Amino acid sequence: MGKKRVVYYTNQFFGQVGGEEMTNQPPIIKEGPVGPGTEIHRRLINAEIVASVICGDNYYSEHMSEAKRVIEKQLIQLKPDMVIAGPAFNAGRLGMACGDVCATASESFNIPTLTGMYEENPAVNLYRHQTYMVKSGKSAASMKKALDVMVDLANKLLSDESEDDIFQNPGMAEKLFSKGIRVNVFKEKTGAERALDMLLAKLKGEPYETEIPLPTYDRVEAAPGVADLSKAVVALVTSGGIVPEHNPDRLPAATAKHYCVYDISGINALQAGEYESVHAGYDPVAANKNPNRIVPIDLMRYLEEEGRIGKLYDKFYSTTGNSTSVADATRMGKEIAADLKKNQVDAVIMTST
């Protein structure tokens, strides 16, 4: 019996096609392994990477349906027994593509798929239910550790080890994100009784522990109010994806890793046909008809003329907030805040969708 066939997916950078200048590269197929796939290929047991699919980060996020169709056609021809993607670490655009490729292959061809992600990658919550997902570090500095687990898992799956066996193995299960599969667990008390016990313990001030893991979020204390808005310089910042027509700075439609800054000095309102939304997370029709719905320059000019604010800052900042990783959002927020502070802006109105 011949070796099992594996197809590997990665982006333009790890696929050795190019850097940020090649993010709009449509899917291409290369025979054999590339990039990290070379190490995976070397360590597979009775299996081989027969082909690699490479696609630019921006192209996949902005043309997801078309990219998916092209890749599905290639998989039909390649007839893989498994698809491996990434690892993507904390790269949001690559993570979304890896998760989507794996989910598509798993659903369309009923084959095992696996990838690797950092816990804050937005693709984790979107795709962990549809593919095996190895926990990785934030960056490629943890490549070896991630590949060690991915190769081990791939060999187990290719040897037809069952999902139950994999997740019941503590050594392997703790290295994977849960797929959220429900199993029956028998307790001495019913759920209603346990919930009531927790409620009573809380009311009595006694210790108790929830059975459901709760997410934790940073709490940001609100800044004190502006003492006199009539003398304040106010800026507009948006995660609604408003950019000049044709998106000259190529702001991604999702999983953005950068923001854009646009001069509005002398502009009383954003005009349809001159500005548009590139955001992929909402219907942009209303925003394109009147971009001021997202970046309300017309209203801010009115407030400026009325003397209710001192001045509208001469630039606005724009990015797309959907599926952006916490780390990238935090970094961009700090950079924008530092720039505004340097330019003596007193207040910011942050608009979304």
Q: For the chain, give every domain's residue range.
A: 4-173, 229-351
Q: What is the pLDDT along the chain (353 residues), one digit of tens a residue?
A: 689 999 999 999 999 999 888 999 999 999 999 999 999 999 999 999 999 999 999 899 889 999 999 999 999 999 999 999 999 999 888 999 999 999 999 999 999 999 999 998 989 988 999 999 999 998 899 999 999 999 999 999 999 888 777 877 778 888 999 887 666 677 889 989 999 999 999 999 999 988 876 766 677 888 899 999 999 999 999 999 999 999 999 999 888 889 999 999 999 999 999 999 999 888 899 999 999 999 999 999 999 999 999 999 999 999 998 878 788 888 999 999 999 999 999 999 999 87
> Is the pTM value of this prediction over 0.75?
no
CA 12, 16, 21, 24 dihedral sign is negative
Question: What per-residue confidence (pLDDT) applies to 255?
Answer: 81
Question: What per-residue confidence (pLDDT) applies to 183?
Answer: 62
Candidates 254, 253, 298; CA nearest to 272 is 298
- Written as one letter, the residue type at 237 is V
Q: Which fold has domain 4-173?
A: Rossmann fold (3.40.50)
Spatial separation of the C-alpha atoms in residues 30 and 307, rounded to whole Å: 62
Spatial separation of the C-alpha atoms in residues 323 and 331, rounded to whole Å: 15
Question: What per-residue confidence (pLDDT) applies to 170?
Answer: 76
Residue 352 backbone dihedrals phi, psi, to 5 degrees: -125, -140
- Written as one letter, the residue type at 142 is S
Residue pair 74/26 in contact by the 8 Å Cβ criterion: no
Spatial separation of the C-alpha atoms in residues 182 and 72, rounded to whole Å: 30
Question: What per-residue confidence (pLDDT) applies to 142?
Answer: 94
- Sequence-distant (6+) residues with CB within 8 A of 286 are 293
Question: What per-residue confidence (pLDDT) applies to 181?
Answer: 63
In total, the chain counts a number of residues equal to 353
